[in-house]
Amino acid sequence: MIDGTWSGTISNDYTSYEMILECDYSQNSYIVNYPTYGCGGYFSLLSKKGNQATFRENTTYGTLLVLMEIK
């Protein structure tokens, strides 16, 4: 199951930032927030196989509006 709240720090070569993801599989609800940047939105579930899921991110508020696919 994908249910629950997931949070942590995402880091790469250039920066690091906090992320909070609230998942409710039965309601097809995946809310994402980036407190560091004051933005967030939702994930759309594209596919799920076994223990792997692929999402598309849709940032709907804040100053950092991005669209990316996450596996």
The model's pTM: 0.75
> How confident is the model at residue 1, as a pLDDT?
64
Digit-by-digit pLDDT tens for the chain (71 residues) are: 678 999 999 888 888 889 999 999 889 899 999 998 889 999 999 998 988 889 998 889 987 655 454 55
**Percent helix, strand and coil across the chain, each rounded to 5?**
5, 70, 30
> How confident is the model at residue 65, as a pLDDT?
52
> How confident is the model at residue 22, as a pLDDT?
95
